[in-house]
Amino acid sequence: MIFAVTLLSLLFFAGLAIDAGSLYVTYGQLRRAIDGAAVAAANDYKAEYGMTLNTDRMTKAALEILKLHDLDPAKMNMHIYICDSATKPADFAVLCPTSPTELKRKLVWVDATLEAPLYFLSLLGFNNVPLQSHTIAEAAPIDLVIIIDTSESMASETPGYSTPYNPAGCIAANNCQPMQKAKEAAKGLIETLFPGYDQVAVIGYDVGVKPLASITMYNDLDLAKNAVDALQVHDDPPYTHIINRWNSVYKGGVDLFGFNPVYPEDRDGDGADDDSDDPMDPTDVAAECRTISDTIAEELWDDTLNLGLDSLGGPCDNPYYLDSYYWGLDRDGDGIVTIKDENLTTKEQLFPTPECDISTDPPTCPKPTWMYMTPNSTCTGCGIRAGAQVLKRDGRPNAVWVMVVLSDGLVNLSDTPASNPNIPSKFPLGYCTGGIGSYNWGFGCEDKRKDATLSPRYCLDTNPATCPPGSISALGDPSLYSVYDYALDMIDYAALQKSTNPAEETGSDISIYAIGLGSAGSVPSGASGPIGEYLLRYAAAVGDDGERTPDPCASTPTKTSCGQYYYAPSGNQLGEIFNDISTRIYSRLTQ
């Protein structure tokens, strides 16, 4: 009898131990599941194509996590609350901002009650025990900068496009392609963010970017979409109207640019039209040309100049006239076309009114003259520099910083001392330096020396020890440093956080998504590969984890999306790409 009683007692306590252990394991499973559900719900704290925020989508995401933890949602009671919920637990309500001046918070409260089964005690009529748990997750707000190339090539898919092209018609009709598709996709991305929590800045770049003071980080997302709508394709001065003999000069049998592609009026690269030996002497025009003659042929070319080319002579460049473009129009009606006619025509063709006063020489404009005259219009480094500065100026410490960069062309310009005071004054036109017959000018400022490893990469750091690993100091020959090198440096300034060179200056925690559109993935003549795509892939690699390696695109074929880089053959794919980016923009959890 004693044994029987003892055995029953042992069985009773063993049963209690089994049930207690089962409850402990089930509660741990519930806690992990609720934590994961809160993470999933907070990560889905976003709008969707203009829909107002509700908890339905969050609930679905949370339930999926519960199922992954082998919990049956039918056997539990789960609730999700956000600060905007009409009713919410008191412990949660005290965490939510109540003042209109307080920043909104992406807080999510998840609680659940699970009926945990009992095994031994079920023999005594006790079948289940309710287990309850709750947790709070917070998704960081998003600070997003959208950077879009607005050069004239962004109208290349417009019906009737040909070179030269005047985009005024498609701008008025609002149908420049792929620009319009890019704008629609960008607005779709903005619509996945949530007003009051997330904020957006929009930057268009071509010859340059707007001054930093005029770039706004919007917390009103409708205003951000208006900023996207305001982007316009840049009207590039027609390269085909550069005087032919300025354009085609030969050295060593190679056809080179015979003019400065940044500022055609400037033959010595000092940023000024006056290239005479003595700029203070108004009679010293021998190096620019003789006095105004009766025939255009004599005014366009000076056979007495020796520029080290295959044939004697050089382009006439009178400091008192804008004479690099030839339009062939008799503006003064005297029956012949002279530089006087060309000067009048150039002003009317290149300088917008009423923005510029074309009665002066040179025209009085809010921007430097070269910005109206350069046939180049892709300053990728300008856009990335401005985007990084906006995030560093307006980005919130508790927010996720994201940059989306779209380009369809090769970088061919950089900032100047006027737009970036860190550039020395000895580079008045930025980093497309050189002269007639030089490498940079010969390739229109496009640095086609780069390959898949971005080698050679040049550096202008005063202390060469701080240069990126593997780069070459260009202090001895600054003309080696190109607009491409500048764009690489601006990417590092934006997002590089880790480097194998501990002395190298690093950037900020910015996630970069890069989109190469159309010709960005093509191999330009004279290059060893798609150098436009190489640049954008580099931005995506650095913007992925803050360091250059590993590169998710290292073994991926060109014209292929990889990591945070996307390739779009045409504007038709941009909507899908921006939508995918919206699903990948992560929210850092703070609780």
Q: In 331-411, which ranges are E strands?
A: 400-407
Is 79 in the same domain as 190? no
Apex CA 587: angle with CA 564 and CA 195, to 5°?
105
Q: Copy the structure tokens of residue 555.
A: 């073994």
With respect to residue 403, please indicate whether it lies within any of the assigned structural domains: yes
- Domain of residue 92: give its range: 2-139
Per the structure, the count of domains in the chain is: 2
With respect to residue 197, please indicate whether it lies within any of the assigned structural domains: yes
Is 159 in the same domain as 105? no
Q: In this model, does residue 21 exceed pLDDT 80?
A: no
Q: In this model, does residue 447 exceed pLDDT 80?
A: yes
Is 196 in the same domain as 220? yes
pLDDT value at residue 287: 46
283: confidence class by pLDDT, cuts 50, 70, 90: very low
Is 43 in the same domain as 146? no
Is 135 in the same domain as 146? no
pLDDT digits (tens, 9 = 90+) for 188-235: 999 988 888 899 999 999 999 999 999 999 999 999 999 999 999 999
With respect to residue 436, please indicate whether it lies within any of the assigned structural domains: no
pLDDT value at residue 17: 74
Q: In this model, does residue 128 exceed pLDDT 80?
A: no
pLDDT value at residue 50: 45
Is 133 in the same domain as 146? no
Is 523 in the same domain as 535? yes
Is 9 in the same domain as 35? yes
Q: Copy the structure tokens of residue 362.
A: 């040179």
With respect to residue 342, please indicate whether it lies within any of the assigned structural domains: no
Is 455 in the same domain as 558? yes
Average pLDDT over residues 235-243: 87
Average pLDDT over residues 554-564: 95
pLDDT digits (tens, 9 = 90+) for 411-438: 999 999 999 999 999 999 999 998 877 8
Last residue of a domain, one of 113, 139, 165: 139
Neighbours of 244 (CB within 10 A): 13
pLDDT digits (tens, 9 = 90+) for 316-374: 777 777 878 888 888 888 888 877 788 888 899 999 989 999 988 889 999 999 999 99
What is the rounded end-to-end Cα distance, in angstroms, of the chain?
Answer: 58
Instruction: Point out which residues pair with 120 in neighbouring strands.
Output: none
Last residue of a domain, one of 84, 112, 139: 139
Name the nearest CA neighbour of 558 among 591, 527, 530, 539: 530
Q: In this model, does residue 121 exceed pLDDT 70?
A: no
- CATH code of residue 192: 3.40.50.410
Average pLDDT over residues 288-304: 61
Q: Residue 564 and residue 537: Cα distance in Å, rounded? A: 8
Sign of CA dihedral 449, 452, 456, 457: positive
Q: Copy the structure tokens of residue 466.
A: 């701080």
Is 124 in the same domain as 166? no
With respect to residue 366, please indicate whether it lies within any of the assigned structural domains: no
The pTM is what?
0.87
Q: Residue 228 and residue 144: Cα distance in Å, rounded? A: 13
Identify the residue whose tokens are 């959890």: 589
With respect to residue 494, please indicate whether it lies within any of the assigned structural domains: yes
Q: Which long-range contacts (CB under 8 A, 24 or more apart) does 346-352 make?
A: 346/322, 347/322, 349/237, 349/241, 349/325, 350/237, 350/322, 350/325
Beta strand 106-117 with 76-82: parallel, antiparallel or unpaired?
antiparallel
Is 460 in the same domain as 401? yes
pLDDT digits (tens, 9 = 90+) for 387-413: 999 999 999 988 899 999 999 989 999
Instruction: Point out which residues pair with 203 in neighbouring strands.
Output: 147
With respect to residue 297, please indicate whether it lies within any of the assigned structural domains: no
With respect to residue 146, please indicate whether it lies within any of the assigned structural domains: yes
Last residue of a domain, one of 139, 155, 175: 139
286: confidence class by pLDDT, cuts 50, 70, 90: very low
Contact 388, 496 (CB under 8 A): no
Is 69 in the same domain as 181? no
